[in-house]
Structures are given as structure tokens and as C-alpha cells.
Structure 1
Amino acid sequence: MLEQIDIDGVASYLGPQQSLTALRSINYVYGANGSGKTTISRIIASPAEYHTCAVRWAQNVPLECLVYNRDFVALNFTSRMRGIFTLGQQDAETLANIEKGRREVADLGEHITGKEGTLEIKTRELGELNAAFREESWKAKLKHEDQFKEAFQGVLNSKERFAERLIKEDAENQSGLKDIAELSERAATVFGPVKERVQPLRYPDRGDLIETETSPLLRKRIVGKEDVDIGPLIKKLRNSDWVKEGLKYFHDDRCPFCQQDTDHGLRDKINEYFDEQYQADVDAIATLAQRYERQASFILSGLEAMISTGSEHLDIPTLTRLHDTLKSNISLNLQHLDRKKRELSSSVELERLEGLLTEINDVIKIANDDIQKHNDLVDNLAAERASLVNDVWRHIADEYSIPLSTYKTQRNNLVAAQGGLARGIQAKTDERDQKLADLRELEKTVTSVEPTVSAINQLLASFGFRNFKLATVDGEELSYRIVRNDGTDAGDTLSEGEKTFVTFLYFYHRISGSMSESGTTSSRVVVFDDPVSSLDSDVLFIVSNLIRKIINQACNPTSAVKQVFVLTHNIYFHKEVTFDPSRSGERRSFETFWVVRKGMGHSELVGHTTNPVKTTYELLWQDVRDENRSNLTIQNTLRRIIENYFHILGNVNKDEIVQLFDGEDQQVCNSLFSWINDGSHSAHDDLYLVCDDQTASRYLRVFKEVFDRSGHSGHYDMMIRPR
């Protein structure tokens, strides 16, 4: 059955999309000519041809659609009309088996529909379970997002994807469970800003310093040649350094110390005392001191540059302290070296820097080890990130193990129930399909086009159409033609009304038949689009009654007709086809009412809870029911109701009814019947043209008693009920 029809951008539907929604078994659509009714019937007939429109079927199961509209008339009223197969009456047992097969197919259909309903419930429950778990798992994302945002890439903005990832990790993640503190520490590095490789720190080159500190020259007393005449004296006095320094002031053979003239050979003896070996030792001490100072300066400047970098890997405070100590010791050693250069005969001992330099190297080594870890991390960042992501998800899966376990158990139960229902539906569907196939084969044994010809001709004759009929084509039993009583073709000579009626009867029998030997019992949707055009009132009444039969079939769950649409612009036909004495005025669950109107250049569909199309008579009663009625017009309204009703009854003795009243009520009653006699306003009308609330109430009371006292209170009660 059709549940909804959406119409957009076709024919007169050029405005906002229009929809027929919540459709039922019986659906009435009323609208003027050109308002857009035929477009609706065409969409139902061929939805695939209207790409901007859509139809929605119950359980997504399309049914066969039989549409009567002007397209059907044009297509089928030809010199050859295709034969319609219907069940004959030749074999009562076969017909009984066909009926039994139809019931079995219908029962299976109901069984399938029931299981599909249960499956829909299970599907909805699964959807609700999934939604609840998505909300629960999303709490993990909100809880850990600040620390582990990088681990949630790809699922940050989707509750559904996050839940799916958590389920997958719970099933597949084999990482060892890590403590949250460890994960946080790793995340601070791995998930932090992108880092670059860092060059390792250089260790101080301490070789020259250590070598200088241990050099024998520093402890060697450097003096001149002792076998020179003056040598023993200088050795005895231990003043070779003083003598050597004095040579710089020895001029003109005058002693630089006592300023007396000396022997000319004294200078030569002193120079001989300070021989080449002495000078070599002097040069070696100078070179040693120079090299020590240069290397010390290089080491200190290197350490200062290292400290100034502020490297996060380096223990800056410790290195600064060691640098300051080293600088102080080097300064002291430089003083010792300077004294050695001045006092070559003295022995000096330098402060040993090896232990201090070892401490410095240890600090640098710790920094370099940390730098190596950093560089290894940079070099293996992709692997480290993947490892950390796995560990984070493993931790979350463990943290939410209880909700996960509960969810998976409930989900598995629902999925298993869905699978069982789906298999049951498929089994029953296969069984139904087989029974349908058997039913079609059974139908072929008794179906024929002849019953349709006989039925249509019988209807034509009973309604006074006796000068033409349908006949099967000679030698071609699967087609019909319209002939006169003498057998000549009559198709081209029929009036528009006759063509319409014949085609309608052809369609009417198509509803209960098939265009092939099987399929006469398949479920179908029937659409009548203005079927009474060009028909006179008598035939209109006949068509209305035939359509009401189809409507009654649609209300029977075992019928092949599952849904009916009636579209018309004829208000009288609409009244006839919607007439149902059991209708109380309240909305009924199996029918819908629609009005299609064309305003502002485009068609518009408006749904109504009850029949919106009223006859003039019904509108008069609506005025009586209205508590806000006008006192100026109520008298004439009551008169017109009585005139219409009692005129239809006929043989009503107005005087006898008037005599049932006394006094002023009799006068009011007589006024109400005045139109029946006069056919127009009489002179008495002026007496009651204007009245107050009290007078209006008296008219209404007498109006009711007219029906009560004349024995027609049932009609009054029916019409006065709220609609």
C-alpha cells in the first residue's frame, strides 16, 4: 500500500513540494478541473517517469497499480481491446482450491508482515542500543581528549566512529595494559609539538691540560752549566734566575747588580753558564704555558657556549658550578705557570683538573644520553606514535570493559534475533512465492476472457445500452471489439458518454482480472481519476455504486484490492461515492480526504480530517449547529431545510403537521412551512424577518419538534450531531 506521495516540479506543481501523507486504504481527492488531479494519478501509474517525485510503499513492497484516467481511455478505447482474464465457473473444486490458495497466500502475507513488524522493532531496539552506547563511549573521549587528542584523530567529531573504534580496539588490541601516568608522560613527548634532531654536546679536549699538569718540566730546576768557573758560585747562591734576569741589564762590562766595572770575560762566563740546554728548557716552559693557556681558554669558552644554549637536556646548574670551579683552578694554574717562567729554577705543582673535567664529562654524557633518546624518538616518531595510540586505546577499552561487555551481549542477542527473524521471513516468503506460483498455474486452468465480455454486455443491457456490445475478435480470443447487434464495428460511432462508460466497465473488470492467464488474485492499488466525465446523471449513479463496491473490497483484508484513490471535480459524484450511512462525522482510520487547489500559479494539496466537500443541505445544517449563528438569517435557514427535506419525502401534509402545535408555536411552524406552499417568501415572512435571541430560540425549538412530531426525529438527530 502507498504510504506517501511527494510531488515536486511537474505540471502545475511548480511551487513548494506537495505531499499526500499518511495514506490509508481509501483516499478521496477533490479539486477543480486543471488543479492537478491527473498529475497525481500519472505519478502513481508510472513513478519512474517523474524523477523529481517519489512514492513510498509500506514495507517497501510495491503493488500493481491500476489507474483509470484519460490516458487509460485513450490507450484502451481502440478497435482492438486486450482481453481481460477472469475466473470462470466451469470447475467448482478448482475454484475452491483457488480460493483456498488465496487465503493461504494472504495468511502467509500477514505472517510475514507480523515478523517484519517484529524485525522492525528489533532493528529499532538495536538502533537505540547503539545510540546509548555511543553516548556512553563518548564520555571516554571527553574524559581523555585533553591528554590523548592525537590518539583520537579520525574519530574526534563522530560519536558513531568513536564507538566503532572502541569496539574494534576491544576485540583486536593486544597491547599490554599501561598505567595512565606512564601514558600521560609519553603523550607529553610523542604527542607534543613536532621536534627536530639535536646535535650531541662536545666533550672538552682535556689532553693538553692533563699532559701539562703532569709535565716533568714543571718540577725540574732549570739552571746553567755547572762546570763553568762561575757555576759553583751561582749554584751555591741558588740565584741563577736572578743572574739570568740581570743579564738584560749587563752593559759596557759594568755589573748590573753592583754597578762596578767587571772583568771583560765575566760576560762570556755568564753566557757560557746559560748554555743551549738551558735555553731549550726555557723555551719548552714557555711553550707549555702558552699551550695550557690556549687549551684552557678553549675549554672554558666551549662550556660557556654550552651553558648559554639553555638546552633542556643539560643540567645547567651543575655544569655552571663545575665551570666556575674549573675556571678558578685554571686561573690558579696559569699563575703557577707564570711563576715557573719567571723562576725557572723553582719547582711548581699545578692543580689537578682531571677529576673536575671527568665530572663535567659525566654531566655532558647524561645530556648526550638524553639527546640520543630524543633523537631516537624523532627518528622513530611514527612507530612511537602508533605504539602509544595502541596503548591509549587499550587502556580506554579496559576502563570501559563493563559497558562494552554489556553492550556486546545485548547487541549479539538483538543481531541473533534479527537473523532468526530474517531467516523466518525469507522462509515464509519463499513458501508464499511457491504458493503464488502454484496459484497462477491453477488460475490458468480456469481463467478466460469470455466472462469479462459476458459481464460487461450484461451491465450495458441492464442500463439501457442495447444497440452495441463487446465481442471477442474472430479467431483471436485474447482481444475484444465493440460491435452493433448485426456484428458490424461500432467503435467510431459511439458518443463520448458511451465511450467513457464502456471504457470504465472495461477498467472495472480489469480490477478483478488480469491481462494474462494468471495473476487475477495479485494485490493491487486502484485509482479512479474523474471517471464520470461526459456521463449523464443516471450513469453517474451507476458508476458511483460500482466504485463503492471496489471501496468496500479495499476494506476487506482478504481482497486483492488493497488501496483505492478517488479523484474528482464533480461535487455530486463526490457526494455519492463518499456516502456512508455509518459515518458518524469523526475521522476514520481507513480513509483520508484531500483538496487540491491551484492558487498563486501552482497546485497545493490540503489534508482534512473529515470530508471537506459539503452539499448545500449539509451546509444549512452546519449553520443550525453553529452556536454563533446569525439571528437575521436563522429563520430562512430553518425554512430551507424543511423545504428540502419534506419536499424530497413527498406526500407530506403540511396542515396536519401545523395542527400538532398550539398558539404562537403553531404560527412559527406555519411560517417554517410557508415555502413549501408558496415557493417563495410570503407576506408572513416579514413578521419574523428580524428577531432577538428569544425568538430565535423559539424557532429552533419548534424546528426540532417538527421532526419529532412528524416521526422524523432520527434524521434530526443524525444531522444535528457535530461533524
Structure 2
Amino acid sequence: MITKIKYIKNLAVYKDFEWDKEVKNEKGEILEFKKTNIIYGRNYSGKTTLSRIFRAMETGKLSSKYDNPECCIKFNDVSDVIQDDFTTHKKQVRVFNEDFIRDNLRFVVNPDDSIEPFAIVGGDNNTIENEINVLKDKLGENEKEKETRLYKDLLNGSQIAKQAAIAVEAAKKKLTDQLSLKAIGNPHGIKYKPEIYGDQLYSNPKLLKELSVVKNDSYEPISDDKKSLLLKLLNEQKKDSILDSKRLNILFEDLNEQTSLLLSRKITQSNKIDGLLKDAMLWVREGIDLHKNKRSKCSFCDNDITKERWIELENHFNEESSKLEDNLKILISNIKNEIEKLEDFKMEVKDKYYSKFHVEYEIINAELIDCLKSSKDALELLINQLENRLNDVFNPLAFKEPPFDKQKLIEIFKKIEQLNIRSNDYTKNLVKEQNEAKKELRLREIFDFINTIQYDNQTSEIASLEAVFEMEKNKKATIKKEIDDILVLITQKQNQLNDEGGAVDKVNEFLNSHFGHQFLTLVAIEFDDDVTGNKKYRFEVQRDGKKAHHLSEGEVSLIAFCYFIAKLKDIKTKGKKPIIWIDDPISSLDSNHIFFIYTLINTQIYGDEEFEQLFISTHNLNFLKYLKRLPGADITKETKTRFRHLIINRSDKNSIIKSMPNFLKNYVTEFNYLFEQIYKCSIMSNVNDSNYTEYYNFGNNARKFLELFLFYKYPDTTTQTQKIKKFFGENNIPSIFTDRINNEYSHLSGCFERGETLIEEPEMYTAAKLIIDRIKYHDIDQYQALVNSVEISFEQA
């Protein structure tokens, strides 16, 4: 089941929508989709765009007309789906929207075209359908934690095979851990006793290789006496072999280049404080960090720090200069790391070399120390220049390249390596004998070890457990194959149930029985395929026995929706519980037909409940009212039911999804919503990112609210202007002032420049407060009911 649309970016009116930031309840808890989801949004708010995302999961791809779209659909039982992998979810998705109508009812675009045919289970195929039911009965149910028959057998087989696999892995792990402990376990492993076993790079693979040696019948372990002799041999006073020295790799050229670039980088001078540019006062930057959001007065001079001064300082230390400071600090840190490498690098201690090499050792070591020091000095010169720029970040500095003799350092490393080679060669004969002794001791240790842990018994037990696992795995595979074969057979038999005539009858049943359209019918016309010669069908809308032309928008809507409902029962969909999305199905329909659309949803979709999840979007409040009657849609128990109510809000060119306001769920009327928007404007002290939409839409909201409110208050033939004057009383100023704002801010005609300027907050606040105060003045009981309907406490209001 789909739990949320994690994000939508660059997709029509959804510029940068993130579910977890927007879809929350009153407590700030993140909400998720439920079994049934009702979505309300005005026209052009973004309902169809949402449906197209879901239809992409049905067709496999989004429209190529979107520019760099991004979206992510989160499921609770399969991996997330993003815009590039709409074919990976393996869910059955069926979407009704204008794209579905265009793709399947092609006559809408081309009057000479037909309707895409489909087949449902035919009335004359009861035998095949019974066979399918028998096969399905044999399969059983595959619902999680409620599996039956073959699916339950598969589940049990999977669990048994899993336990067998766990037993195999446990036995293997036990043996592997013992071998690993012997090979590389600290401190008693072979690796950690190179003085006896001769290999400080010993590993698990090496142990396995030598284990096969001692298991060979030709291997004869050394005696205890010979073991004692070999241990004495290892105590001979010879120098240990000197390992190859690691070379330092200081990328000095790169550090020079980076330093030069940062020193010469220029900072834009706009919005800078001249005094700070001329005199690099680092304490000012530190002072900002010490005072920001902590003190209103300067700790140094005890003067007030004004808001204007904070703005000047923030503009001075802008993102560009901060980024340069960060880059300077990072590079300084990197150079210091290189200096640490230089400080840590040393030759092996002199005692590891034979005395004949000591003089040469001292000369090389002195050269090394001197070269490392000059390299360190060069790096510190880089740091000094970077710190100078950091102290005066707004003024570029000229780069002074430090001296560095890389070639000399390379030559020293070569000298060290040659010294090591000659020292090691000096001990070659002794080392050879000691290495042979260590190998013999190592093999004897391994021989004793495998007898101690009963290696042969453990390997035999592992082989027995693997045989059990293979048997259980094969049982599971047999059941899985039987299930797969039955599913293939069901598909083959379903393909035999093709009945285009039945599909036509089902559409006509909906048209005639539910909508009373006796004149429009759908007809299946048989024809021969020009390529294959096979019989094929095409659907055609007829009126009084002739192909119908010039259908009204309402007739197209009716036929399309009946076609969609009937198609949910086709052989590709029936029994597969799809995810269904219905996008605004009541376009151009009267109230009677709107009710019948609801009836079809209630009986044909919700009645059978052969769906995994249902989404219905609408702009029509009347239709929204009917949807509240669906079984289990009681909004007072929403948290305990399968229903989620959402609303799409559009501001300018951007839309977001929100939890539907309670008053809209409770009352389903725009009147309450408009009152809430005006009330919010009347109590706002300033405009910010969280409330600017109330100001932006105030003109339209106030105009529509007053038209509704004043019509019922003064239901006569007086003009709207006269009603506004009567509403505001003898003082004409509020009525003229409010009427100007309502008209100028809800229409750009004649005042086009309004569309290019910011909304004036004081005017909006004043107009909103005038309206709220007059409602309270005229009828305090009605005012109290309105504030209660939008869940504002009367005491607060």
C-alpha cells in the first residue's frame, strides 16, 4: 500500500513539495495515506498532476514534456518508486483521468476513431471460470499472516528451509571463528607470534592452505624433541629483517596551487562596511558569534546593538566571505595534517642495523631530518600566508611560493631502501634457517590445533546439515514451482475468457440503468485484422443505431467513467486488487448525474472492495459531500478507520498537499473556509513564509465571502455596493475602503500594475478586521457559530 508521496519537484505546479514538511495533523504528527483517500482541490490546483504521477506507475513512464521532474512514492511493502523506475513496483494500478480518456476513448480527439476494446469474463464461460476458481482455491490466500493452502505450505517450507540454512551457517561460523582465532586472534594467534611462527602477515586463507598440508597423509609432524631444538634456533642473536620503509607523498604542488587560488580570490564589495574593509578587525567576526541572539548591548562599549547594525554586519559577512573562510580553514587543516605526517616519519631505530652500517645510517638520518624540517618549514610558510588572508578575508594577497626540494626527499628514500636491502642480505643465511624452523613449528601448531577442536567431526556435521538444507530447499522450490505453474495456467484460462460483448453490455448497463441514457449505447464491432487475418473488435458509441457524433462534455464524461468502471472487471484486472485513482470524475455533470457517479463508486468499487487502495480527487463540494457517505467514512472516527481526507492548496504557481481542515470535512462548505481565511488576516501582525498565502488571496476570499454573506443577509435586488454600505452602516469610509481592496486585489483588469507589486499588509489587515468586527456587531450568535466551525475558541476570537 502507498503510504506517502515523499516529494514532488519540477512537476507542473509542484515545484518543491515534501510530504513530511506539509502533511501533518494539529499535533505536528506526520500523516500517511490510508485504504481510502479523499482529496479536495480547486480547479487548476494540481489534482490531475497527482493522477498523472499514479498513471505513470500504470503505464511505466511520466510525460516527456516535464522538465527534470522528480518524485518518490513510498510503499509499506515494496521499495520506494522514483521517476526513473515506475515499472519496478509490481503493483496493479488503474487511473481514471483525462489521459485515460484520451488514450482509450480516442474519438474524443478524433471523431472518426473508436474506443479501445477490452474483454471481461464472458457469460458463456462458466466452465472455464469454475476451473479458475478451483485453481485459485488450490493456491489459497496469499495475504500476509493469513496464508492458506499452497501459499501456507510455501510459507512453512520457507521457514523450515530458513531454519536449516541458519543451522548450516551457525555450524560454519563456529568452525570459522575457531580457525580465525588461531590464525589472527590477538594475542595468541599465529599472526601475533611472528618470533615463533615467522609470519606477521598471517591470515585465514594461509591457515586454510596449510591446514590442507597437515591433513595430507604424507605429512609427518615434528617430534617434541625436534620442536625444542627449533625453538632454541630461533634465539640465535641475529638482526631481524628490516621491512620496506613507506614513502611520504606530500602533494606540495597541489597545496601551492590551492593556496595561491585562495589568496588571490576576490570578495564582492557590495554591502560591505568600509571601516572593516580597510582595517581587518577579526574580533568583529568573533564578536558577532559571541553576541548573536544572546545580548542586545555590546559587551565592549555597553551601547545598544541596533537591528540596522545587525543587518549591516550580516551583509558584510555574507555567504561568499564565509565560504572563503571555510575553504581557508579547511586548507590550513589539511596542511597541518601533512606536517603531522612529516613529524611522525622516522627511520627504523639504529639498533636494528648491524654496526657496520651505523655511520651510513647517521648520515642518511641527518639528511632525512634536515629535509623533513625544510619541508615542514615550507608548509608552515603556506599556513602563515593562509592565516594572513583569514585575518583579512576581504583583501586578496600575493602568493609567495616556498622552497621545497622534492627530488632530494626522493633520493633520501632510495638511500634508506638500499641500506635496508644490504642489511637484510647480511642476515640471509641465518634467516633462511630460522624461517624453515618457524614453518615447521607453525605446521606442528596447526596439527595439534585441529585435533584439539575435532576438526573432522565438525566438518562431517556441517556436511550433514547442508544435506538437510538442500532437501528442504528443494521441497520449497517444488511448492514454488507448483504455485507458478498454477498462476500460469490461471492466466492462460483467463485469456480464454475474452468477451468483448460482455464488456459492452457492462458499459451499457451502467449507462442505461444508472444514468438513464437510453439513446447512447456502446457497440462491439467485429472486423478482420489486415495483417493477421484474425477476428478483432473495436468499440463504437452509437445514438439510435448510428455512430454518435458531437457528444457533449457531459456525455463523454459519462461514457468514459462507465467504461473505466467496466474495465476494472476486465481479465487483466479482475481479482488482482489494484490501486485505483479517480480524478475529478464529475466534470460537466449535473447534480443528479454526480450522485450516480457516487453510486457507481459505492456499489461497483467500494461495494466489492476488490482494491488495495482507493484515491478520489474532486473540486466539487457537492460530490465531496456524497463521498462522506461511503462505508466507514465517518470523519469523527477518522483515526480508527480506513479514510484519509486531504486538500491541495495552490499559491501563485506552487501547490502543496495538506491535511483537510476539519471544518471542510465537517461542513463541506466554502463559506466556512472563506471566513477562516479572513479571520486569520484580521489577527496577523506581520507576513511571513507560513501565512503569506492568506494575504495573497485576500482579495478573492473577501469578495466571495461578502457576496455569499450579504446575499443571505439582504436577499433583495439591491446592488452589492449598496449591500456593503448597509452592512458597514452610516460611515461610508469602511465600505468604500473594503470594496476597493476586494475589487483591486481580486481583479487585475484596469490595475495591471497590481500584479507586479507586493501586497500592502496594513490595508489587508484593516479590511479583514472591519469585516470581522461588523459580523460580530450585527449578529454575535452567528459570529460565534462561524468561529466554532473553523475550530477557533470563542474566547480567543
In the superposition, the TM-score normalised over structure 1's length comes to 0.46
Q: 1 or 2 for the larger relative contact order (CA 8 Å, sep ≥6)?
A: 1
In the superposition, the TM-score normalised over structure 2's length comes to 0.42
